[in-house]
Chain A
């Protein structure tokens, strides 16, 4: 079973630097389960979906920290610790901005199409688990397991 050391990254808390973190997250996603060496179309689809959903969740949390915790001031820092294993990725995101009341997020609208306020719901839907501990420092924990393809399930 592949085991990797935690990988850390610190970036300024500005949306301008989100892409730097996203590229790191994407590269770490490719370590999960060694899927990068399996080029079958099913595995590539699983990899693309895993990458896309994890990056989506991460982007929403990064936005939340930069825009809300730090008030869009472009000051402060966001720290990431990425811990990949053979079939799971855990990313801890730490900030020292304002705390966030995750329980105050209203449920997603059922009938009307929303034009905002969907970030936390998207993050939750993309992950197996999303945890938040108010600080300081505030800590977000994003966890997602790599899905097994049909051959692995047999």
Chain B
């Protein structure tokens, strides 16, 4: 399943909502949008992964890139709604030490 994504605002947070598979196939597309998201200078970026059913190492790399760029402007990032395989990967890689997983 391809990845679809959209952005919205909740209070002062920027919410990036994804659905489908965040993987080697979809990572290049979303990577090109990250810089545009950072330019909006929100101090909190929320990645909603409730409808993401698979993430691979390329997908994790996208989140790491987003986290690093957000941090570079003094911002934060958190992931919410992850379950099943994506949550198993985050636990395995201990990603909660990097960004908040709600």
The residues of A with any CB-CB pair to B shorter than 8 Å are: 15-16, 18-19, 22, 48-49, 51-53, 55-56, 59-60, 63, 67, 113-119, 122, 125-126
Categorize the interface residue count of chain B: 20 to 34
The listed residue (A22, A52, A116, A125) touching B87 by CB distance below 8 A is: A52
Residues of B49-65 whose CB lies within 8 A of A: 54, 56-58, 60-61, 64-65
The answer to whether B64 touches A59, judged by C-beta atoms less than 8 angstroms apart, is no
Which residues of chain A are within 8 angstroms of B98 by Cβ–Cβ distance?
113
| Chain A at the B interface: SS class | helix
A15-B25, A117-B57, A125-B93 provided; 18 other pairs, C-beta below 8 A?
Answer: A19-B54, A49-B91, A56-B85, A59-B54, A60-B57, A63-B58, A113-B64, A113-B98, A114-B61, A114-B64, A116-B57, A116-B58, A118-B57, A118-B61, A118-B93, A119-B56, A122-B93, A125-B92
